[in-house]
Amino acid sequence: MSEPIRVLVTGAAGQIAYSLLFGIAKGDVFGKDQPVILLLLDITPMLPVLEGVVMELQDCALPLLREIVPTDKEEVAFKDLDAAILVGSMPRRDGMERKDLLKANVAIFKSQGTALEKYAKKTVKVLVVGNPANTNCLIAAKSAPSIPKENFSCLTRLDHNRARSQVAMRCSVPATHVKNVIIWGNHSSTQYPDVHHCVVNKSGSELACFDAVKDDAWLKGEFITTVQQRGAAVIKARKLSSAMSAAKAICDHMRDIWTGTSEGDFVSMGVYSTGNSYGVPDDLIYSFPVHIKGKSWKIVEGLDINSFSRTKMDATAAELIEERDTAVAFLGV
């Protein structure tokens, strides 16, 4: 058995965490022989609820779960971390302007970035889930200057999985038979789900997605809007936001960082854009297709971008620039 790793989940009394913590604790993310110490951070009023979550984790009697530390203190939660999954954020309330939402979240993620800087290992891998995830991730990274920017990513794997599943259902194949969908840009309704490089295994042969689906109008229209608006559709149906599927995507994202991606496969994650070869402006957290090896991601190079894709990639970049500039202005306040 390896030494235990220290894994933080914020918003730990919330519904995404409730679906997530069991998967981490039983070895679905960091490996079946990797013991974990779970640090669970939430705001003070949620500590009684968090105590119930701790009881349930104890009652699972999981062999890899060595210790559980529930807390409302950043100096406890961020100490010597190997991995940080930042789920907690300020949700948008009725009548709230987007800039007010950004301002509230800048305060949270500046504070958590500062705590990462002060208390966590410099090798910590940080995944931001709380929305607006891309910009929250950028603020956390800017607030932890001695931790490499490459160690920060935001969750677009849920969008990636949604896109993969839509194609699979359309082609009547398992989702595992669809690979290399791409989510470009922001985890918002401007994101661009791109299947121009996607491959579908149908009846034993690998086909380009457009050849497998045989419905270009659907792929360039309804497919894109379905993926873009899926989160809102879940809220409308459940009266609650995606939790099970978000937790599964978090597990997929962190497992791929820890163990790598298969040869020839790529996944989507929001990463630091500086130096990319796709004409995306620098200093954003923007979702790209990536390969992962040795816990390091690399943006997949050399993919052809047609004019349809270019327009959509630029539109989501423009939204991210606006978000970043608003958020960075608040950083100095």
Q: What is the pLDDT of residues 242-291, one digit of tens each?
A: 999 999 999 999 999 999 999 999 999 999 999 999 999 999 999 999 99
Binding-site residues for substrate: 92, 98, 131, 162
Catalytic member of 160, 177, 187, 253? 187
The domains of the chain, with CATH numbers, are 5-154 (3.40.50.720), 156-323 (3.90.110.10)
User: Does the pLDDT of residue 333 top 60, yes or no?
Assistant: no
Confirm whether 253 is a catalytic residue. Answer: no
Binding-site residues for NAD(+): 42, 105, 129-131
Which two three-digit tokens encode residue 234?
Answer: 């879940």
pLDDT digits (tens, 9 = 90+) for 155-210: 999 999 999 999 999 999 999 999 999 999 999 999 999 999 999 999 999 999 99
**Alpha-carbon gap, residue 48 to 205, rounded angstroms:** 54
Residue 126 buriedness (CB in 10 A; 0-12 / 13-18 / 19+): buried
pTM over 0.85: yes
**Alpha-carbon gap, residue 186 to 316, rounded angstroms:** 6
pLDDT digits (tens, 9 = 90+) for 291-327: 999 999 999 999 999 999 999 999 999 999 999 999 9
Query: Comparing C-alpha atoms, which of 196, 159, 157 is closest to residue 309?
Result: 196
